[in-house]
Structure 1
Amino acid sequence: MRVLVTGYSGQLGYDVVKEGKSRNYDMYGTSSSDLDITDKQKVHTYVETLNPTVIIHCAAYTAVDQAEDDQEMCYNVNVIGTKNIAQVAKKIGAKLVYISTDYVFDGQGTEPFTEMSVPQPVGYYGKTKLEGEQVLQLILDAWFIVRVSWVFGINGHNFIKTMLRLSETHDTVNVVHDQMGSPTYTADLSRLILDMIETENYGLYHASNEGVCSWSEFAEEIFKQAGKQVIVNSITTEEYPTRAIRPKNSKMSKQKLRECGFNVLPSWQDAVGRYLAELKQEVEV
């Protein structure tokens, strides 16, 4: 199976390529320096020449705060780029997986959002990711859309790396406690995505590691497992203002994964432990 992965320089794209190679797939990863997904002609030329069986579209503009001010770039990458990828996928008959986000929801309420919940993004980033979903569905008859949240992986910046860095110089940190969601380890997510492409079980899925926590609880678990003596001061969202509104409820139901025969991801606490071990191994190498 020949698989093209966009966004290879990001956390998920990197791990998808790594997992694919472990399965002996013919993997090709591209980053923005290799392929400008906003350029329709370049996308068609590159993809038609490669002629992959599957395209896993991880590339995205994900700077949530910056997106509020850099709307043109955000739109071009998340909407136009996705449109270009979807059109060429249709032309060559490739399966397409689109990675979306919990930010398509407004974060209201306390119940987990299901795949049937009506998206109502409140920030520009979320709006463009939702529009990417919609463009994909207009162009293709069959597709995979996978919504994820609170992503962390070995290749790139993330919350765990930030907390570990702060632990080197701080004995206390302030972290919000009123935003709830589920962390997602890209190594686990990659296995699920590649399991998906081996099937015809197309559709919209929510995927994150099992369990729910606040950002402050996430931080406490990181310090606990890493053996760091850092006190976490729980603060409110209002005490930590950001340019873009953050959803207070990012909980997503993964019931559809179970219904369609896919394995749900391990608990987020278990994922943190394995990720910390991966980080340690990388340092030792």
Structure 2
Amino acid sequence: MKVAITGAKGMLGTTLTHTLQGCELFALDREECDITDSATVCSVFEKIKPDVVIHCAAMTAVDLCESKQFEAWKINAFGTTNVAYASNKIGAKLIAISTDYVFDGELDRPYHEYDQPNGGLNVYAKSKWAAEQVVRSLCPNHLIARVSWLYGGNGPSFVHTMLRLADGSRSELKVVNDQVGNPTSTKAVADALQILLKTPELVGTVHLTCEGEASWFDFACKIFEIEKINQKVIPCSSDQYPTPAKRPHNSRLEKLVLKESGIFQMPNWEIALEEFLLSHNRQVL
């Protein structure tokens, strides 16, 4: 099986490139395949003829998307249009990575795959929701995999930020406690995609976040607990920590499709976090 990965130098793309087994991998980053150039994407795909395209390439800096809206739409929406068209043209299955942020967070329960997104609260979310719709319309043989609160070996991520801030220069850290989601490691997502590559009959939308839930405050406390860092953490509200992009208060995703299919179960977020931190040297992080 030939598998092409867009955004191969990104956080998830790097993990996939290093961990996927049993397939011939084509690691494509901007240098090899600029997704905003439709002719280039078609040419590259036609040359390597992948059986599956895992589309990780995206502008994921949520706050930066607010100030660089044109770039966010060009990469996330238009770029995905090119990837979806080219994938369908050569008969490849497209696995497109999406986000919990396509939901506005107003529900009082986790969102499952059959809930209707409303486009989210910020430019990043809206551009990714547009990307989902493009995938559905241009490439019928697709799987949209939503992830959330992602962290991995080469960052940047919340884990990297917390470890950097806990350098002993701050007596306390204020961390938001009114946004709840599913912290998820790139390793957990990569392991899930390894299984899904062998499950071609599963199409549509699937949530691939770790089990269990936490606030950003809970997440930070767990990081310091595992790393045995004596850092005081103070919970605060989103209003006390304003950001350019508005975030949903509820980012929890239910893995209803995985439960229905019985294929596998995502790991608990605390176990995945501990595995990640214990298996990576702090200098590597």
Shift of 1:262: 2.5
Shift of 1:65: 1.1
Mapped to 2, the partners of 1:263 and 1:230 lie a distance apart of: 36
Mapped to 2, the partners of 1:58 and 1:268 lie a distance apart of: 21
Task: Name 2:89's counterpart in structure 1.
Answer: 91
Task: Name 2:148's counterpart in structure 1.
Answer: 149
Task: Name 1:51's counterpart in structure 2.
Answer: 49
- Confirm whether residue 201 of structure 1 aligns to residue 202 of structure 2: yes
Please report the TM-score for the alignment, with normalisation by the length of structure 2: 0.96
Task: Name 1:119's counterpart in structure 2.
Answer: 117
User: Does the residue aligned with 2:267 lie in a helix, a strand or coil?
Assistant: strand
User: Does the residue aligned with 1:266 lie in a helix, a strand or coil?
Assistant: coil
Cα RMSD (Å) of the superposition? 1.4
Mapped to 2, the partners of 1:39 and 1:140 lie a distance apart of: 18
Name which of structure 1's ranges 94-103 and 62-71 shifts more when overlaid on structure 2.
62-71
Shift of 1:283: 4.5
Shift of 1:281: 7.8
- Confirm whether residue 35 of structure 1 aligns to residue 29 of structure 2: no
Matched residue type, 2:87: A
Shift of 1:194: 2.0
Provide the aligned length of Structure 1 versus Structure 2: 282
Matched residue type, 2:130: E
Please report the TM-score for the alignment, with normalisation by the length of structure 1: 0.96
Task: Name 1:110's counterpart in structure 2.
Answer: 108
Mapped to 1, the partners of 2:116 and 2:100 lie a distance apart of: 12
Matched residue type, 1:246: R
Shift of 1:57: 0.1
Can you give the 5+ residue segments of structure 2 that lack an aligned partner in the other structure? none
- Runs of 4+ with >3 A deviation: 281-284
Mapped to 2, the partners of 1:196 and 1:242 lie a distance apart of: 36
Task: Name 1:78's counterpart in structure 2.
Answer: 76
Identity %: 38
Can you give the 5+ residue segments of structure 1 that lack an aligned partner in the other structure? none
Task: Name 1:187's counterpart in structure 2.
Answer: 187
**Aligned ranges 1:1-285 → 2 under 5 Å:** 1-20=1-20, 23-120=21-118, 121-169=120-168, 170-199=170-199, 200-280=201-281, 283=284
Mapped to 2, the partners of 1:233 and 1:253 lie a distance apart of: 28
User: Does the residue aligned with 1:209 lie in a helix, a strand or coil?
Assistant: coil
Contact 1:9 1:155 in 2 (8 A): no
